[in-house]
Amino acid sequence: MTQPGLPVIVRSDKGMMQIIMNRPEKKNALTREMYALMAEALEEAASNETIRLVSFKGMGGTFTSGNDLMDFLNQSITAESPVFRFIETLVSFPKILCAQVTGAAVGIGTTMLLHCDLVYASEKAFFQLPFTKLGLCPEAASSLLLPKVVGLTRAATLLISGDAIDARTAEDWGLISAVFSEESFDAESEKRLLKVAAMPPDALRRTRALLRKPLEKEMRDALLREVQHFEELLKGPEAAEALQAFVEKRPPDFSDFIWPPDHS
């Protein structure tokens, strides 16, 4: 088990591993180090015969506010980057994958849920994909998975507007499995996950494979498409304006930008 002072805490008990994002002072904004640590934990869980289920959590009442922008802009989004490694481990993970969401689940905090089999949220949780607002595009194969999960119209609403939805809406749309009260959330979600972790492991593995394997090639193809567009946008003027506006605490101004040529 890792030490509580680290930005990612890993706890294992009764067949369940919890991967806990532990930067509450930054609303668990994700850094390259955190992506690498979470990928390592998933790889360990995949090879550890005693682990049957993995669940993601966030410390301090927030799941994650997404990428730490200053850290994120100092890295290249390539197949060798920590974030891509983390997403790759999500795609190929063979065991039951879950999430326990409180507070904000922004950007990757929502797209990673599309790779989970069970997602429980507290009443105050909310989900947001603000990529276009940041001059960016979908990632983590969300351009493929989100329409499959919530439907094309709702996926377009989330990805184009960048506006947040609350936990009850997310449940109604099929993005999450269930919503619990703030008071009972930890106990109720953990009780349900431990119940699953106690089930026959080979049956669980085969069931997940039957659900996910047919999508694996499509997910990898979507990842490669997204990475290409994401990297180009990240280096472009729209993302630069969005970041500058964020730093200066003002609304971004895209009024002078022209409609670009087709990059499909």
Q: Does 177 reside within a domain?
A: yes
What local confidence, expressed as pLDDT, does residue 28 receive?
98
Q: Does 234 reside within a domain?
A: no
Q: Does 254 reside within a domain?
A: no
Structural domain span for residue 91: 8-182+200-208
Three-state SS string across 89-154, please? HHHHCCCEEEEEECCEEECHHHHHHHHCCEEEEECCCEEECCCHHHCCCCCCCHHHHHHHHHCHHH
What local confidence, expressed as pLDDT, does residue 1 receive?
45
Q: Does 224 reside within a domain?
A: no
Burial of 127 (0-12, 13-18, 19+ CB in 10 A): buried
What local confidence, expressed as pLDDT, does residue 242 receive?
93
Is the distance from CB of 227 to CB of 132 less than 8 angstroms?
no
Q: Does 32 reside within a domain?
A: yes
DSSP, collapsed to helix, strand or coil, labels residue 81 as coil
CATH number of the domain bearing residue 174? 3.90.226.10
Q: Does 33 reside within a domain?
A: yes
- Alpha carbon separation from 42 to 46, 85, 209 (Å, rounded): 6, 11, 16
Q: Does 12 reside within a domain?
A: yes
Q: Please write the tens of the pLDDT for every residue from 134-164.
A: 999 999 999 999 999 999 999 999 999 999 9
What local confidence, expressed as pLDDT, does residue 126 receive?
98
Whole-model pTM?
A: 0.95
Low-confidence ranges of the chain (pLDDT < 50): 1-2
Q: Sheet of 126-128: strands edge to edge? A: 104-106, 126-128, 165-166
What local confidence, expressed as pLDDT, does residue 77 receive?
63
The count of structural domains within the chain is 1
